[in-house]
């Protein structure tokens, strides 16, 4: 199969994404408008008949003082990763990006290598000798993913550092997902652990209501988000980022981004953003107040978002990044503990990969990034 690669229009790119069951929200054309500090390009792969068979959103970040770029395809490109001729997909991309002035390429193949169901993770947590998710026997292994990793290595791609829980600009290597396909909502609820089911009931009894917000409510979202950032010691993104996200994503598809609030006695005590691309729904950012935690607003909100995802016909509700640490003393342990209560599964992607087109500049970037 001979493939050609060329720049495509945003319209072509969007039409291609819409023809698929799903793709990452980082690979929709509008994501370029969210990441406005990067220059962007839409790439398309065409087969011998001229049909568009793959697409990628490339973000270009210029190196300080040099007219050379880091080319980044977050959670992409959207191609057939299991194709036996993977080289024929990626070589033209590297040639094109080199011509565009890239000194290094970073991509995140959307390929899952292993999955662990909730019982397997719980067993791991209870075993004092187990400190990491990867020390637990996986419930599902995708043999073709190992083949993809081998092929990339043979082509000269280098596996990047672990994305950890996906805090900051790297994409998460480990995520937590609740599969919804071919399941009843009742069976999804039943697979929640006792604590989750109790907390959902508790919130209901206490009169917590979950409502959807709009653009005008983003300032209120930001207030709760900054409270959370201070409590959990991370640097919050500015309000402008969420406003841009809302405007750009919903201009592309009016149902791309949603905002939820959990209210108690008229006061917003938790909030979350949700992203939708085809059958994949993500819980993207979350926030909560320091008080009224006893009425369990976060559990109520997650359950409502999950029900809404189900009503949309989603095949998966994705709670995004987790750390692979099962050590109770780790500050990120609470995250996996909270998410595992949904009875879903942890998934490990094959991670992000780098291709240094100019080894010297690639090394310089590594040093620059490590000092930041």
Q: Which residue do the tokens 């000269």 mark? A: 156
Gap between the Cα atoms of 143 and 78, Å rounded: 20
Task: Give the integer Cα–Cα distance in Å for 70 and 361.
Answer: 10
Which pLDDT score, from 0 to 100, does residue 370 have?
67
Task: Return the ∠ at Cα 362 (arms to 358 and 368), rounded to 5°.
Answer: 150
| pLDDT at 372 (0 to 100) | 55
Question: In the predicted model, what is the mean pLDDT of residues 251-280?
Answer: 97
For 81-91, what is each residue's pLDDT tens digit?
999 999 999 99
Q: What is the pLDDT of residue 367?
A: 74
At 24 the pLDDT is: 97
Task: Compute the distance between CA of residue 28 and CA of residue 56 in angstroms, rounded to an integer.
Answer: 9
Q: Please give the DSSP secondary-structure letter assigned to residue 136.
A: S
CA distance 110 to 173: 10
Contacts 24+ apart (CB under 8 A), 202-205: 202/295, 202/296, 202/299, 203/262, 203/295, 203/296, 203/297, 203/299, 203/300, 204/300
**336-362 confidence digits (pLDDT tens):** 999 999 999 999 999 999 999 988 887
pLDDT category at 208 given cuts 50, 70, 90 is: very high
**Contact status, residue 50 vs residue 3, Cβ threshold 8 Å:** no
pLDDT at 64 (0 to 100): 80
Tell me the backbone φ, ψ of residue 195, rounded to 5 degrees.
Answer: -60, -45
55: β partners: 44, 78
pLDDT above 70: residue 366: yes
Specify the pLDDT at position 364: 75
How far is the C-alpha of 274 from the C-alpha of 230, rounded, in Å?
22
């Amino acid at each position: 199969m001979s493939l050609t690669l060329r720049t495509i229009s945003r319209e072509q790119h969007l039409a291609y994404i819409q023809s698929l069951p799903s793709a990452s929200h980082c690979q929709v054309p509008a994501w370029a408008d969210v990441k406005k500090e990067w220059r962007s390009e839409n790439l398309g792969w065409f087969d011998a008949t001229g049909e568009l068979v793959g697409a990628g959103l490339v973000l270009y970040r210029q190196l300080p003082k040099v007219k050379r770029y880091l080319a980044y395809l977050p959670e992409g490109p959207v191609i057939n990763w299991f194709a036996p001729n993977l080289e024929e997909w990626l070589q033209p991309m590297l040639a094109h990006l080199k011509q565009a002035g890239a000194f290094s390429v970073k991509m995140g193949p959307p390929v899952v290598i292993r999955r662990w169901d909730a019982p397997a993770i719980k067993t791991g947590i209870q075993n004092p000798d187990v400190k990491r998710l990867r020390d637990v026997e996986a419930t599902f292994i995708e043999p073709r993913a190992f083949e993809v990793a081998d092929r990339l290595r043979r082509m000269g791609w280098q596996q990047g550092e672990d994305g950890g829980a996906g805090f900051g600009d790297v994409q998460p290597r480990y995520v937590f997902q609740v599969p919804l396909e071919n399941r009843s909502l009742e069976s999804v609820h039943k697979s929640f652990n006792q604590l989750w089911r109790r907390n959902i009931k508790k919130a209901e009894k206490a009169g917590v209501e979950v409502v959807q917000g709009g653009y005008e409510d983003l300032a209120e979202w930001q207030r709760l988000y900054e409270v959370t950032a201070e409590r959990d010691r991370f640097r919050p993104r500015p309000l402008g980022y969420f406003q841009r996200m809302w405007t750009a994503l919903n201009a592309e598809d009016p149902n791309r981004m949603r905002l939820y609030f959990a209210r108690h006695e008229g006061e917003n005590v938790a909030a979350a953003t949700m992203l939708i691309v085809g059958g994949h729904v993500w819980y993207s950012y979350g926030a909560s107040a320091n008080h009224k935690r006893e009425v369990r607003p976060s559990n109520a909100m997650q359950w409502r978002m999950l029900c809404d995802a189900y009503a949309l016909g989603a095949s998966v509700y994705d709670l995004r990044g987790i750390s692979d640490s099962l050590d109770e003393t780790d500050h990120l342990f609470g995250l996996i503990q909270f998410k595992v209560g949904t009875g879903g599964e942890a998934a490990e992607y094959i991670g992000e990969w780098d291709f240094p087109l100019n080894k010297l500049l690639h090394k310089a970037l590594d040093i620059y990034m490590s000092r930041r």
